[in-house]
Structure 1
Amino acid sequence: MIKTFADKSEHPFEWLDVTDPTADELHEIARKYNLHESSVNDCLQPDHLPKYEIVGTEGDIFIILRLHTSEVANQADTVRELTDKIAIFMKEERVITIHKKPWPESEKIKDEYIKSDYCKSAHHILNEIIKTGLATYDSHAAHLNREIEFFETNMFLKNRKRSLLEGLYYLKRKVDVTRRILILTYEIVDKIDNQPGNTYTRDTRDLYVKLHNIYDTLFENTNHLLTIYFSLSSQRTNEIIRVLTIFSVFFMPLTFIVGIYGMNFEFMPELKMKFGYPGVLLLMGGVTGCIYYWFKKREWL
């Protein structure tokens, strides 16, 4: 589906928005508007990472921008599951955007930005598209922050859920993939903000720097959470081993005493003693008391 959001009858530029084209439709658009063949092939690759390049002899700009998808599954951890791709072709007086999924923000740009006094060229449209795309990561960062707070709250509970580690893994993957996408988007932002004193593109760069810092912080926090999780798991394992070791220390001398008097030799001392049985019980109780006192003195109990 092709929509014309701006045409030259009303503006000094035109903007065509194409949603979910087939391969034949895409090649037809390429022939009509003289789009470079290699760029068209990149449009057909759903996993293509962000990039900025100048193609052809006329200096046409081709950009692949990835937006954060609005609905993210709990176990989403790949580029395709977390982001949507938009291909942008720009000439001096024309912008063509191509995407597979619906892009509601395009209508907002058309209704609010194109009709404003700030929109005067195709470069302004391109900058607004990039800025709107980056803003999708801002809203999702708040959701990731809430997830991190949830895991921090449940990390120190006595009865932790078994799925906590799995959730932490997917949280780390989400942050890591999104962070790498933002890093690759830097070149796009850097290329469009190449004129000193341009406040419009400077706002886009400021938004990018803000998001980059946010996702760096989220990445560090998720790594810290994983480290804390494994530390707590090791600590609880050590605590269990300590308790079992204490039990074994109590029973080792008792087992030794019982083992000696359980031997079946005919000539053994103390076997005929009248008070041998209670004497051995008292000995075993005394040994247990000494071990308990020793543990208490060293503060092991």
Structure 2
Amino acid sequence: MNYISPEVNRVARDLSWLSTSPEIISVAALRQAKIPSLNAGRELLSCAFGDVPQISSTNRLGLYFEQLCRFQFEQHPEVNIVSANQQIIHEKHTIGEFDLIIEHLKTRIHFELAVKFYLQIGPGDQLSHWVGPNLKDRFDNKYERLVNHQLKLSENPFVKAWLDAESICIDEIGLITRGRLYYPYACFMEADFLFPVEVEKSHLQGFWMSGSQFRQEQSLAEFSCFELPRGFWLSEVTSHEILTFQPFDGDGVSQVTAVVLWHDNKEHMRGFIVPEEWLAKAQERISI
């Protein structure tokens, strides 16, 4: 049996996660291309050592996610990669970038790719009620850019000229999105999920709470809690990986910390523990 390094195992599990996990943005209302099946994760586990793809886990999850998507398509027998991460520049000004253009059964498809993680602030039924952990990102802004700018890139006259020069005709467009929405802990435990209509109903969920809440919450006593490194935010953690993680006790929380709760030798849930002042800053962010 071939040796599979922990790094390759993690990539394979993330590839499998990509192929089986739900979208985070619902594509029902969009002119969405049908996505060819993505099943490379299992095949990667059987690769001979040395034949593995040049994909490495990184704190830049957006880039890592794009690498995973591209590899999945590269392994598909009916798909050719036409272009990836192609910037379109006109007179030294970047108009936009095609994340991925593929050809599938003689159809050229422009895909935009995104993996995002948002925490609920406020009622939750509007995209603007969801912010990124570092408060630099808001769901409504990302959605607006994805749908009304990036997916419409091929409609720009300068981009059309570039496509014509490259003999590329975009037949369809589509989104591939993954990620997780994090609900206040009480809502999470009660499965009281209020989310925008733009969100896929079967999306992945997590929780968030403050450091003081974490220390006082009796329902967490049965779990062991560990810090969850950014490179492990996608697929579930294994019993081997958890041994390398730092225990988390909630004392002196000075920054937003991703955590995984562990019990009976498996992952049960994951979330974010935030500093006491984070909520006030987040509420300011959603009112901008």
Q: Which TM class, normalised by the smaller chain length? A: under 0.3
Q: Which has more strand, going by share of residues?
A: 2
- Which TM-score applies when normalising by structure 1? 0.22
The one of the two structures with greater contact order (alpha-carbon pairs below 8 A, sep at least 6) is 2
Q: Which has more helix, going by share of residues?
A: 1
Greater C-alpha Rg = 1
- Which TM-score applies when normalising by structure 2? 0.23
